[in-house]
């Protein structure tokens, strides 16, 4: 089949118009961008102290309730190993002796976050809201 030089050429294949599909993609993109800005992640704000900074001298009137977590998640309060279930009772007892004392949690670098959260929750349940994070033990 011969074509003439001046005659318009006809395509044998039909073409697909992609403009409506691109419009839908751009609308979806705008929708996801707008909705993504309103999503807030829930987390725990935790500021660990600077290891190079020397801590202030302890106030003799305000002793701390120090709770240490070992590398195997054992809990030590007042140089005694304490069972997980009795952390709250020990903190309540020490808080009754010195109501102004904050709870200072000193975790080991290899301890789990669950142990830290358990101690912080136990302190809150014992009525102590001044809970601090001490320098990590080696």
Confirm if 98 and 66 have CB atoms less than 8 A apart. no
Tell me the pLDDT tens digit for each residue of 4-31: 555 556 555 678 888 888 899 999 999 8
pLDDT at 12: 57
pTM of the model as a whole: 0.55
What interhelical angle do 87-97 and 113-125 show, nearest 10?
50
Tell me the pLDDT tens digit for each residue of 26-77: 999 998 888 776 666 777 677 776 777 776 665 544 588 899 999 888 999 9
Question: For domain 65-133, which CATH number applies: 3.40.1500.10, 3.40.1260.10, 3.30.420.270, 3.40.50.1460?
Answer: 3.30.420.270
**For the chain, what are the domain ranges?**
65-133
């Amino acid at each position: 089949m011969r074509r003439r030089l001046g005659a318009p050429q006809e395509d044998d294949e039909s073409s697909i118009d992609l403009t409506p599909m691109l419009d839908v993609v751009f609308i979806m993109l705008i929708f996801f961008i707008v909705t993504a800005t309103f999503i807030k992640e829930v987390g725990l704000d935790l500021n660990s102290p600077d290891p190079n900074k020397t801590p202030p001298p302890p106030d003799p009137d305000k002793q701390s309730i120090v709770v240490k977590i070992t590398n195997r998640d054992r809990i030590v309060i007042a140089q005694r190993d304490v069972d997980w279930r009795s952390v709250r009772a020990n903190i309540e007892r020490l808080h009754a002796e010195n109501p102004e004392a904050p709870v200072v949690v000193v975790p080991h670098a290899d301890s789990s976050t669950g142990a830290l959260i358990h101690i912080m929750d136990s302190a809150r349940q014992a009525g102590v809201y001044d809970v601090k994070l001490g320098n990590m033990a080696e």
